[in-house]
Amino acid sequence: MTSDHAARRKRPFLVLHDYGMGGVWWRVHARSEREILETFAWVEVVTDPEIVARFEDKELDEVDIDAPHMPAGLDDLRAERDAQRGREGFGALADRDIVHLRRRWDEDDEEPVVYLMEVEPDGRRTRQVELAEDGTAVRSGPDDWVFNTPIVDLYDPALAAQEITRTEFEDHWARARHVDADG
């Protein structure tokens, strides 16, 4: 009877995994938004009434959060979250309105850069400062970016060590030139 009671408390949520050039959508039956975010990495629960209405009549994979097997894509996101859970820092930045992070980008074909980012709860940037090794600082915002997909998952335990203060971010933001300004 307990499982029947738990099943009745579940309701459908529109869930998106946005990978930049598109996304994968599911209707996940769960007890809460938080349960979904704690179960699957790199997803967001979409609550915007206009978007929810657009998907009302669309056929999406219907998923019970307690099911032992998930559809393709969602299975990997659950496995990633399972691997994170229990690690120090898991979920430490979740439930915040704004988070400020310092992340190093060090690709083989590019000069190393440090990004200072202001991030919303859905993992999308609101502002960013790019710090080059030569001391150059360039700031940008959503109007400057072609896409603004989620770039962090605030439940990721690795992010806790990348957090900076709002003051540090604002100091760099104030000193940086805008991406379109003449250098």
Per residue in 106-152, pLDDT (tens digit) is 666 667 789 999 999 999 999 999 998 888 999 999 999 988 889 99
Domain boundaries, the chain: 2-84, 99-178
Is the pLDDT higher at 179 or at 30? 30
CB 101 within 8 A of CB 152: yes
Residue 21 binned pLDDT confidence (cut-offs 50, 70, 90): confident
Residue 1 confidence (pLDDT): 43
Exposure string for 67-90, b = 16+ CB within 10 A, e = fewer: eeebeeebeebbebbeebeeeebb
Question: Any idea what DSSP says for residue 69?
Answer: S
Per residue in 157-169, pLDDT (tens digit) is 999 999 999 999 9
Region 83-93: what's the mean pLDDT? Answer: 96
Is the pLDDT higher at 4 or at 44? 44
The label of the residue with tokens 């300004």 reads: 181
CB 148 within 8 A of CB 89: no
Helices (H), the chain: 2-9, 33-39, 49-54, 74-84, 166-175
**Mean of all residue pLDDT scores within the chain:** 91
Which two three-digit tokens encode residue 111? 């000069």
